[in-house]
Structure 1
Amino acid sequence: MKGLCIAVQFLTRLPAPSVSVSNDAFGASMRWFPVVGLIVGGIVAAAGWAGAHVDSWTGALAALAAWILVTGALHLDGLGDMADASGAAHKDRDRLRAVLADPHVGSFGVTAITLQLLAKLVLLHALIDHRQIAALVLVPFAARIAPLFWTRWIAPLHQGLGARFAGAIRPTDIAFWTLALLATAWFHPALLAIVPVIVLWGRWITRRIGGISGDGHGAGIELIETALLLGLCVETAL
């Protein structure tokens, strides 16, 4: 359970028991990321359910606010950083990496974060309006399986978070969470939309940047969450 406590402390703003953390223990905590996703999803769904007693838009706003608050906008920060770096695409790779390392948020980052929040708000409203609140629990869960694949597939960009995760994920971890994803997809096949997004984001990261970092993981999680919300909306409409 130590790994779960570390993962909760890292991925959320929820209170968790204080534990000593070595580099190896921190890296191994990634195995618990999907469990933290279930916790986040449960909170998001509960907030959406409570807000929906007013109307669907209030439910969507409550769910989005809970999503941001419980994660501390951690992955949105990564999305903004990746968007700013992409804005330097006309430069060489070294320039792109320099922009990625800059802690300041530029216009590309602000635009990406704004569009992401708007997209989530609209998609949350659609799902809540169609009484698919329970499905929201599974979106953060599935999205946090993706970093396990990227860690096994893509070399770390530098000696940061990506490097601390490298080597911590075993084939058995991949197999277990793949089976868990397939089990949930039996009830909501739209969750399988995660597969092409994992591949496309991984290929983009590899070709454009040359390695995965904490920002790459965070931005990828955000993109997958939006893709899964969209997939669930399409599934509901069919």
Structure 2
Amino acid sequence: MKAFLAALMFMTRIPLPQVNISKNQWHKSARYFSLVGLVIGGVLYLASLTLQQFFPATITSFFVVLLWIWITGGLHIDGWMDLTDGFGSNKSREQILEIMKDSRVGAMGVIAAICLIGGKWIAVYELLQHENAIILLLSPIIARFLLINAIRFFPYRNQGGIGEGLRANLSWLAIFLNFLFILALSYYLIGMNGFILLFFTAIFSGLLVVTIFKKLGMLTGDCYGALVEWSESVSLFIALAIWGLM
């Protein structure tokens, strides 16, 4: 339970009672990231249903995206901006890592954040228009499931660092149980389209991870955050494409 609370406290800004979390419990928290996604997705889904009773889809989608940013504290957007600043510089591996470590945000990071937030706003609006708000529940779960796969199968920047501890405690069984959970939930909520959504989101997210790995030879905390934002956004647009084809 404390490992789950550690994951919830780290990945969200949901008010929680203060709990003493040991280093070992924190290292075990990654196996619960998908459940954190369920909490975030549940809040977004319920908020969208409630807000639609009072506002048009444009305003509702705007508030939902704001809530999305608030509930994560902008944690992943920060990683997304740092990554795009680094890769947008078109410099060497060492220089990219230095740029990503810099607390200042460059032009590429600002542009990337605007595109990301604007893209989410448009996608959420279209989903609400087509009465597919349920994707708001699935998107954060899928993104965090793909995150734990990246943590498990790609090396972290610092040996013995915080990411390395998470990786060491992600067993094959934990990955498999997370996979069964998201597969069952996706099928329950949207049928076979859930499998299609998960498959194509994994493909596009995998391309991002491989691109980063080829350039840097490892992943960093910023890469993890960027992956979450990318996966969430991609899943929204893939969902729209699925229903568009149907």
Normalised by the length of structure 1, the TM-score is 0.94
Q: For 1:175 and 1:73, how far apart are their aligned partners in 2? A: 29
Deviation for aligned residue 1:132: 1.1
Deviation for aligned residue 1:208: 1.0
Give runs of aligned pairs for residues 17-32 of structure 1, distance below 5 A.
17-32=17-32
Deviation for aligned residue 1:134: 2.1
Moved more, 94-103 or 119-128: 94-103
User: Do the aligned partners of 1:56 and 1:129 also contact (CA within 8 Å) in 2?
Assistant: yes
Deviation for aligned residue 1:26: 1.4
Q: Which amino acid aligns with 1:190?
A: L
Q: 1:205 aligns with which of 209, 212, 220?
A: 212
The residue aligned with 1:194 is: 201
Aligned residues: 237
Q: For 2:156 and 2:87, how far apart are their aligned partners in 1? A: 18
Change (3 A) 1:185 1:47: closer
Give runs of aligned pairs for residues 97-112 of structure 1, distance below 5 A.
97-112=97-112
Deviation for aligned residue 1:106: 0.7
Q: Please tell me the root mean square deviation across aligned C-alpha atoms, in Å.
A: 1.4
Q: For 1:7 and 1:60, how far apart are their aligned partners in 2? A: 27
Give runs of aligned pairs for residues 74-223 of structure 1, distance below 5 A.
74-89=75-90, 91-158=91-158, 160-186=161-187, 187=191, 188=194, 189-223=196-230
Q: For 1:20 and 1:199, how far apart are their aligned partners in 2? A: 35
Give runs of aligned pairs for residues 36-51 of structure 1, distance below 5 A.
36-51=36-51
Q: For 2:228 and 2:158, how far apart are their aligned partners in 1? A: 20
Q: Which amino acid aligns with 1:65?
A: L
Q: Deviations over 1:10-54 (max 9, x none)?
A: 000012232223333212101111111011111111222222222
Q: Which amino acid aligns with 2:51?
A: G
The residue aligned with 1:73 is: 74
Q: For 1:206 and 1:174, how far apart are their aligned partners in 2? A: 21
The residue aligned with 2:12 is: 12
User: Do the aligned partners of 2:76 and 2:228 also contact (CA within 8 Å) in 1?
Assistant: yes
Q: Which amino acid aligns with 1:68?
A: I
Q: For 1:74 and 1:41, how far apart are their aligned partners in 2? A: 16
Moved over 6 A (4+): none
User: Do the aligned partners of 1:50 and 1:59 also contact (CA within 8 Å) in 2?
Assistant: no
Q: Which amino acid aligns with 2:168?
A: G
Taking every aligned residue pair, what percent have the same amino acid on both sides?
A: 27
Moved more, 180-189 or 213-222: 180-189
Give the SS at the match of 1:144. Answer: helix
Normalised by the length of structure 2, the TM-score is 0.91
User: Do the aligned partners of 2:138 and 2:186 also contact (CA within 8 Å) in 1?
Assistant: no
Deviation for aligned residue 1:191: 2.8
Deviation for aligned residue 1:227: 0.7
User: Do the aligned partners of 1:60 and 1:121 also contact (CA within 8 Å) in 2?
Assistant: yes
Q: Deviations over 1:89-110 (max 9, x none)?
A: 2x22111111111111111110
User: Do the aligned partners of 1:78 and 1:215 also contact (CA within 8 Å) in 2?
Assistant: yes
Q: For 2:166 and 2:103, how far apart are their aligned partners in 1? A: 21
Q: For 2:62 and 2:209, how far apart are their aligned partners in 1? A: 31
Deviation for aligned residue 1:138: 0.9
Gaps in structure 2 of 5+ consecutive residues: none
Q: For 2:52 and 2:140, how far apart are their aligned partners in 1? A: 20
Gaps in structure 1 of 5+ consecutive residues: none
